[in-house]
Copies of this chain bind each other. A is one copy, B any other.
Amino acid sequence: MPRSQLHRLGDLQLRIMQVLWQRGEATVAEVHAALGARPRFAYTTIATMLRKMEARGLVRHRAQGRAFVYRAAVAERQVSRGMAEHVLDRLFAGSLSTMVSHLLTAREVSAEELAELERLIQERKRISRKETHIKKGDARHEPDSSRLD
């Protein structure tokens, strides 16, 4: 399952993945129940999606009696980053500030959110400063702890 194309997830697939990420494992019935009403999916819809998703390498399953227990085969971080970066690159030319600017004017943001954003940026500035002091360029952070298994 190549990490490529990890940003192409439809809404339903995403919701299913979220159930699996949350629970670790889940049978078709459990996923189906977790998705609940609004709209009410047919049981077989979920089963079919899960099989298609397994073919794409997004999930895996093991048999437990008659039932299949599914689990995610890709980490939430990978998907989140993949999709976020895709939008960032395709729509905002990779400029995080441009994207944030759009989102700040497009929706309500609570004071807590703003404070948290500020904290993140200060934190990042601190790290950047330190790295720049130690060595210029060749910054090798992010130990890629985004593996599963």
Q: Could you list which residues of chain A lie within 8 angstroms of chain B, going by C-beta atoms?
A: 11, 14, 77, 79-81, 83-85, 87-88, 90-92, 95-97, 99-109, 111, 113-114, 116-118, 120-121, 124-125, 128, 139, 141-142
| In the complex, chain B residues whose CB is within 8 Å of the CB of A109 | 96, 124, 128
Do residues B121 and A114 form an inter-chain contact, with CB atoms below 8 A? Answer: yes
Beyond contacts A104-B121, A105-B141, A114-B121: 11 other A-B pairs, Cβ-Cβ < 8 A, are A81-B102, A81-B106, A84-B91, A84-B106, A96-B113, A97-B117, A100-B120, A106-B142, A108-B139, A109-B128, A118-B121
Leading 6 A-B pairs by shortest Cβ distance? A97-B116, A81-B106, A97-B117, A80-B91, A87-B87, A104-B124
| In the complex, chain B residues whose CB is within 8 Å of the CB of A104 | 96, 120-121, 124
How far is A84 from B102 in the complex, measured between Cα atoms in Å? 9
Asked if A96 meets B79 with Cβ closer than 8 Å, knowing A14-B90, A84-B87, A85-B107, the reply is: no
How far is A113 from B88 in the complex, measured between Cα atoms in Å? 13
